[in-house]
Amino acid sequence: MDWITALVPGGKENFNGSVIIFDRFRKSVRCLPCHKEDTAIDTALLFCNNIISNSGVPEIIISDRDPKFTSEIWTKLYEMLGTKLAFSTAYHQQHMD
* pLDDT digits 0-9 by tens, 13-61: 999 999 999 888 888 899 999 999 998 899 899 999 999 988 889 888 8
Reduced to 3 states (helix: H, G, I; strand: E, B; else coil), residue 10 is: strand
| Domain 2-96 class, CATH top level | alpha beta
pLDDT value of position 87:
80
Within a 10 A sphere around the Cβ of 80, how many other Cβ atoms?
9
C-beta separation of 33 from 5 below 8 A:
no
Burial of 67 (0-12, 13-18, 19+ CB in 10 A): exposed
Question: Domain boundaries in the chain?
Answer: 2-96
The model's pTM: 0.76
Instruction: From 69, 66, 57, select the one nearest 89 (Cα to Cα).
Output: 66
